[in-house]
Structure 1
Amino acid sequence: MLPGLDGLRFSHWQAARREDGIVVLALDRQDAAVNALSQDVLIELGDIVERLAIDPPKGVVFRSAKPSGFIAGADLKEFQEFDRKGTVDDAIRRGQAVFQKVAELPCPTVAAIHGFCMGGGTELALACDYRVASNHGSTRIGLPETKLGIFPGWGGSARLPRLVGAPAAMDMMLTGRTLSASAARGIGLVDKLAEPAVLEDAAAALALKGLQRPFGQRFKGWASNTWPARKVLAPQMAKQVARKAKKDQYPAPYALISTWERAGGKGIQARLDAERRAVVKLAGTATARNLIRIFFLTERLKGLGGKDHGIRHVHVVGAGVMGGDIAAWSAYKGFEVTLQDREQRFIDGALERAQALFAKKVRDEAKRPAVAARLKGDLAGDGVAAADLVIEAIIENPEAKRALYETLEPRLKPDALLTTNTSSIPLDELREHIDRPAQFAGLHYFNPVASMPLVEIVQHDRLDPATVQRLAAFCKALDKFPVPVAGTPGFLVNRVLFPYMLEAATAYAEGIPGVVIDKAAVRFGMPMGPIELIDTVGLDVAQGVGAELSPFLGLQLPAALATVEPGKRGKKDGQGIYAWKDGRAVKPEAPQGYAAPSDLEDRLILPLLNEAVACLHDGVVADADLLDAGVIFGTGFAPFRGGPIQHIRAAGADALVEKLKTLQARHGDRFAPRPGWDNPLLRQPPE
């Protein structure tokens, strides 16, 4: 046992004294794959630091004993429990107090960072005198708390602006963006970079020798936090945030700016107190609770697929927008990909788009040729025989798809998987005449492939569960969230989204301006309005999905979707319901003095909620959580509301049914409550 630590028994921290006199405290949280800061971990650290303060060593290095990374942040499950018990204030106080003890240690302290360093891990590093980071590409440092509806509460928001200057610090916290080790070094968050093998030695050497930060960084840390600077910068920051998030929907960024503006020039304890009060208040909001719930939903989706997908070579048939982009993304993520179409010009266009993706995503120019080489045009379809996974992405026509499968399946390897990117056709219609239906499934991506995080794994009654597991693992390797869904028309996302888009098109046909319709949806929290969305996905695509879903849902296509003029399919043609310029919709202003109908928001949103209830009732997904996750990540449904089912619970299922009945009486039977509103799950308190 080390001097000063006699009598202490550690469950999570390992303490060792090096020959150079530096004490190394390594975190290895008991019974956990990754390090997260629970209250037990913090209490133990507090006891250790108190003892070290009595008889200080030459220096202290904090590191992780786990190969996966430094510290992933606070234990969010424990945080949820504190929220339920009303003890968040106690938890915030404890974390701040422990890290302040670290900051006040009468010896140099250094954080040795490798792998992920997030949230509370970064806050511990900020409490140290210095930070050394592994220059390995896996190192990422961040304070992502605003994505959870709060902001750094264990001293991060109090310390970072003083260290790197307010503009860089606030940008990092407001966006939740993570930084590479070199980027963190560039803003002054990290003092030195080191090879992984000598990380601890480099940290110990820094503790012994110290470091004088450049005058420019020290001046920036002081000047950007003065009263005049805060008064100038805070409104500018709030204005930038307002472009992306509304204060009543996402209060955390605004609270962070306000707290810094009021207290950023005070002493450390006053800054910590202001931080704590603001974070405790935010933690009790519905937004924070919903965003934390969504975090756990993402963890569940990641866990659906293991690592063993057995897929190396992907063959994509169809080089249109979806097929070409699926092929490019697969190549970017490390798979060998061959891309087939009936004409070389379609393949060439897809390869050009792929080069643009690689130029954007692969910042190291020297690595781009290797990425590009993984994607090959394949007019003759020779790649089918070598493929582990074939993805069909041709036109939405059942006969054409079945004819293609007849030519593909005889050439497949015995263990190869055949999938379709159909967006709405029931798989029971497609699996007929397939010799190996157990290895046939839907793999439904969303447009644009590079930015939409969801992939629906579409099932049918003769599908082998092992195929679903392999496809889920493949999605995980693509950094996509897989959601298994039933193979009924529209699956989950399009089935829920279509009534919403259809009602928007109906309202537009009635003469309600598109810009008014879009504003109503955005005001609710949707990422873009439904009229703009129709143009973005393409009126031709919307028409195809509508033709498949309308009979199933008993709905009628309005004129805007019933006939689509050539060259006016939306964004891709530069003209649809709106004109498009430089990738942006040109929206005509509403007539002066125009007042939107009072029930417009209900007309748009309630059909979506109505169909979500029907999907849950019909077993399209396994449970309500998967439904909420699928609709959030597949449509962008207002994350701060927690998903359709969570929103129904918060708004009151009975009240929403009454609203549907009112709309039914006013506008027609398309608003009739769908089966499933009597589900007790809808009347539980919001999670």
Structure 2
Amino acid sequence: MTSDAVWQHWQLRHDPDGIAWLTLDCAGDGPNTLGRAVLEEFGQVLDALDAAPPRGLVLRSGKPAGFAAGADLREFDGYRDADEVASLIRHVHGLFARLEAAPWPVACVIHGHCLGGGLELALACHWRVAHDLPSTRLGFPEVRLGIYPGFGGTLRATRRLGGPAALGLMLTSRTLAARAASAAGLVDAVAGTHESPDWLARRAVLAGRRSRPGWLAHLSNSAAARAVIAPLIRRQTAQKVRADHYPAPFRLIEHWRLDGGDAARMLEGEAREVAGLLTGEVSRNLRRVYFATEQLKSLGRQNAAPVAHRLHVEGAGVMGGDIAAVAALAGLEVTLHDLDAARIDAALARARGLFARRLKTPAERLAAAGRLIADPAGDGVARADVLIEAVIEDAGVKRTLFAALEARLPAHALLATNTSALPLETLASALIDPGRLIGLHFFNPVPRMPLVEVVHGEASTPAAVARGCALAVQLGKYPLPCRSQPGFLVNRVLAPYLLAALRLLLAGTPAATLDAAAVGFGMPVGPIELADTVGLDVCRHVLVTLGPAEPAAAAALDARIAAGRLGRKSGQGFYVWKDGKVRRPAAATGTPAELAALADAMLAPLLDACERALADGVVASAEQLDAGVILGTGFAPFRGGPLRYRGLA
């Protein structure tokens, strides 16, 4: 029997029945990742097991957070030679093949995150047991990083799930809970909340269980099936992303079409294609965006405990009502106040729709609705941990409201405003303690937009800003600390972009052409559609706040606003909207070169504004600025952010 052994990242022990228990516990406090050192040690573990074969092997994690988060992304930026990367991938293929070919049964215990390379390692085992915990999630997130699974995942996932199902999982980057993963075929057994997954894995090893894919999965990987299905999947994917912007999804589909069903060709194609993608510009940019957004999240994770249990929202308009709904969805008790009871009722109705879309069971929806409390008398102020003001964008109205609320607010409570552009110093003048005031600028539509600008004025205390960041993370958002300057970051850089588009529109360029040019650059929607989505009244207010608007642009907005054409929310702005979707009157015109020139003309003011914002210290770093502009405006992620695009980061 092999003696117990300890490496830096792996621990191996044996029980009296001769079963080997191998625990992955990467040195340090972070999650398990499959970096070069971890994989080299894994080869040594396999050597030790081959030298003295156990009765069986159970592979598990020593980290409470999960099994493994995949490859070590920090190592990726060191690679520039695709041939070197391909060689490393082939080495990992060899390690996982050795595990899969082991003559003794191998089971794997999964809890928490099991993603990317971690899931590929699990798929190389003979039997997988997942613990049915809320935190257990399995999936392949690689396309978000500009690559696709490279440690044998395309072979083993398509073999187990069938080609279409496996590609669907990889192309969408969605993750599955334990029971959904079992239904899909990724895992073989699920341990209930009060069951021992180790015990189930031990039983599987003693019984010599080996998972076998079904015949339908095998049939879906046949040459005939691939020839029919791959073009369909490609067309569906092309409706969501462009191959020249995001090549990885299309390379994955083609890889399966050409090589699916042949194990050797799948592995070799994986090594070659993933290596080329990983060393390419798109993947480097997407990895930068990933690390920058994770940095924003880390700003709100300083406190282990939730920053708030009770939230009070002043103002039940679209923004205030949706902020309240998102907070209730996140588990907070929320009181919602407005002078107009009908606005509260409308906000509660929208919230019920959100709960119906986001929550699976009637009990969950009922609980969320119970946490969102209509508060026409404003009684929730006195017991709130955080108060968010979302009333009309008028400095005088806000100051009067703050003066009335401060005396009723608990001493520990955080006071926040959802202003989109007003300087905090202007609003804080009404407060006895201006240090507790910050901005929490959410974006419309609140349930979908991932960014919250956490605005700090001259008097805002660091503790208040830290609590604001923590609240944003508690609500499932990315916090971006910003200095209180007109427009903060997002509106400051977005306004010149919208103004440039409006100038071109007034000069005769069709709206559909302008929007097509921006989408061709990589923006999720064009500037004219975006203006309609934000609301033309809001756009007009931001332009006024940031400086004197050009007379022609102001007149164009004023005419539509006076006619009640506010954009999507009124059913008509620059476009006609029906059921929340835009109706364009004509198709875009122009050659690719002409559209690219239009995109450059519209985006140049945005890029200039980003440079000035960084120089003015609106945000702390180029990484935070790029992440904030991507999350707040949709700036093309594959370009790495506006400063990276300009070669300044």
**2:263 maps to 1:274:** no
Aligned to 2:488: 491
- Using a 3 Å threshold, how does the CA distance of structure 1 residues 476 and 105 change in structure 2: closer, same or farther? same
Q: How big is the shift at 1:502? A: 1.2
Identical counterparts, % of pairs = 47
2:283 to 268, 288, 291: 288
- For the 8 Å contact 1:42–1:94, the answer to whether it is kept is no
Q: How big is the shift at 1:255? A: 0.7
Aligned to 2:345: 348
2:632 to 621, 634, 644: 634
**2:403 maps to 1:406:** yes
- Using a 3 Å threshold, how does the CA distance of structure 1 residues 592 and 624 change in structure 2: closer, same or farther? closer
1:429 to 426, 432, 436: 426
Deviates more, 1:562-571 or 1:60-69: 562-571
Amino acid at match of 1:362: L
> What SS is found at the alignment partner of 1:411?
coil
Q: How big is the shift at 1:507? A: 1.3
In the aligned structure 2, how far is the partner of 1:405 from the partner of 1:262? 65
- Using a 3 Å threshold, how does the CA distance of structure 1 residues 556 and 396 change in structure 2: closer, same or farther? farther
- For the 8 Å contact 1:390–1:419, the answer to whether it is kept is yes
Aligned to 2:622: 624
**2:508 maps to 1:514:** no
- Using a 3 Å threshold, how does the CA distance of structure 1 residues 291 and 593 change in structure 2: closer, same or farther? closer
Aligned to 2:173: 176
> What SS is found at the alignment partner of 1:324?
helix
> What SS is found at the alignment partner of 1:110?
strand
**2:596 maps to 1:601:** no
In the aligned structure 1, how far is the partner of 2:76 from the partner of 2:504? 44
1:107-506 residue pairs with structure 2 within 5 A? Answer: 107-195=104-192, 197-211=195-209, 218-266=214-262, 268-305=263-300, 306-307=302-303, 308=305, 310-506=307-503
Q: How big is the shift at 1:475? A: 1.1
> What SS is found at the alignment partner of 2:623?
helix
> What SS is found at the alignment partner of 2:203?
helix
Aligned to 2:60: 63
Please list the CA deviations of residues 159-218 of structure 1 after superposition, one character each: whole Å capped at 9, or x if unmatched: 10010111110000011111111111111111110135511110111122245768xx51
Amino acid at match of 2:72: D
> What SS is found at the alignment partner of 1:395?
coil
> What SS is found at the alignment partner of 1:614?
helix
In the aligned structure 1, how far is the partner of 2:52 from the partner of 2:385? 62
Amino acid at match of 2:248: A
> What SS is found at the alignment partner of 2:275?
helix
- Using a 3 Å threshold, how does the CA distance of structure 1 residues 487 and 357 change in structure 2: closer, same or farther? same
In the aligned structure 2, how far is the partner of 1:82 from the partner of 1:104? 30
Deviates more, 1:196-205 or 1:218-227: 196-205
> What SS is found at the alignment partner of 2:95?
helix
Q: How big is the shift at 1:83? A: 4.1
Please list the CA deviations of residues 124-150 of structure 1 after superposition, one character each: whole Å capped at 9, or x if unmatched: 011111111001121000110000000
- Using a 3 Å threshold, how does the CA distance of structure 1 residues 83 and 77 change in structure 2: closer, same or farther? farther
> What SS is found at the alignment partner of 1:247?
coil
Amino acid at match of 2:629: V
- For the 8 Å contact 1:82–1:91, the answer to whether it is kept is no
1:648 to 641, 646, 649: 646
> What SS is found at the alignment partner of 1:557?
helix
The TM-score normalised by the length of structure 2 is 0.96
Q: How big is the shift at 1:462? A: 0.9
> What SS is found at the alignment partner of 1:390?
strand
Q: How big is the shift at 1:489? A: 0.8
Q: How big is the shift at 1:312? A: 1.4
Q: How big is the shift at 1:562? A: 3.3
- Using a 3 Å threshold, how does the CA distance of structure 1 residues 592 and 364 change in structure 2: closer, same or farther? closer
- Using a 3 Å threshold, how does the CA distance of structure 1 residues 379 and 313 change in structure 2: closer, same or farther? same
Provide the alpha-carbon RMSD of the alignment: 1.9
- Using a 3 Å threshold, how does the CA distance of structure 1 residues 157 and 594 change in structure 2: closer, same or farther? closer
Amino acid at match of 2:106: T
Aligned to 1:673: none
1:94 to 68, 91, 95: 91
Q: How big is the shift at 1:479? A: 1.4
- Using a 3 Å threshold, how does the CA distance of structure 1 residues 245 and 624 change in structure 2: closer, same or farther? same
> What SS is found at the alignment partner of 2:311?
strand
In the aligned structure 2, how far is the partner of 1:447 from the partner of 1:54? 61
2:525 to 524, 528, 541: 528
Amino acid at match of 2:205: A
Deviates more, 1:31-40 or 1:112-121: 31-40
1:10 to 7, 10, 14: 7
- For the 8 Å contact 2:79–2:279, the answer to whether it is kept is no
- Using a 3 Å threshold, how does the CA distance of structure 1 residues 249 and 555 change in structure 2: closer, same or farther? farther
- Using a 3 Å threshold, how does the CA distance of structure 1 residues 594 and 472 change in structure 2: closer, same or farther? closer
- For the 8 Å contact 2:517–2:595, the answer to whether it is kept is no
Please list the CA deviations of residues 631-670 of structure 1 after superposition, one character each: whole Å capped at 9, or x if unmatched: 0111110000011000000xxxxxxxxxxxxxxxxxxxxx
Amino acid at match of 1:634: G
Deviates more, 1:278-287 or 1:44-53: 44-53
Q: How big is the shift at 1:591? A: 8.2
In the aligned structure 1, how far is the partner of 2:245 from the partner of 2:16? 54
In the aligned structure 2, how far is the partner of 1:33 from the partner of 1:503? 45
Structure 2 residue runs of 5 or longer lacking an equivalent are none
Aligned to 1:33: 30
Please list the CA deviations of residues 14-33 of structure 1 after superposition, one character each: whole Å capped at 9, or x if unmatched: 11222333211111111233
Please list the CA deviations of residues 452-479 of structure 1 after superposition, one character each: whole Å capped at 9, or x if unmatched: 1110011111111111111111111111
Q: How big is the shift at 1:434? A: 1.1
In the aligned structure 2, how far is the partner of 1:593 from the partner of 1:144? 36
Amino acid at match of 2:506: A
In the aligned structure 2, how far is the partner of 1:490 from the partner of 1:510? 26
Q: How big is the shift at 1:88? A: 2.2
Please list the CA deviations of residues 364-385 of structure 1 after superposition, one character each: whole Å capped at 9, or x if unmatched: 2222212211110101111011
Structure 1 residue runs of 5 or longer lacking an equivalent are 650-681
- For the 8 Å contact 2:497–2:603, the answer to whether it is kept is yes
- For the 8 Å contact 2:480–2:624, the answer to whether it is kept is yes
Count the aligned residue pairs. 644
- For the 8 Å contact 2:453–2:481, the answer to whether it is kept is yes
Deviates more, 1:74-83 or 1:315-324: 74-83
In the aligned structure 2, how far is the partner of 1:247 from the partner of 1:10? 43
In the aligned structure 1, how far is the partner of 2:308 from the partner of 2:500? 41
Q: How big is the shift at 1:424? A: 0.8
- For the 8 Å contact 1:49–1:105, the answer to whether it is kept is no
> What SS is found at the alignment partner of 1:620?
coil
In the aligned structure 2, how far is the partner of 1:270 from the partner of 1:349? 58
In the aligned structure 2, how far is the partner of 1:290 from the partner of 1:124? 26
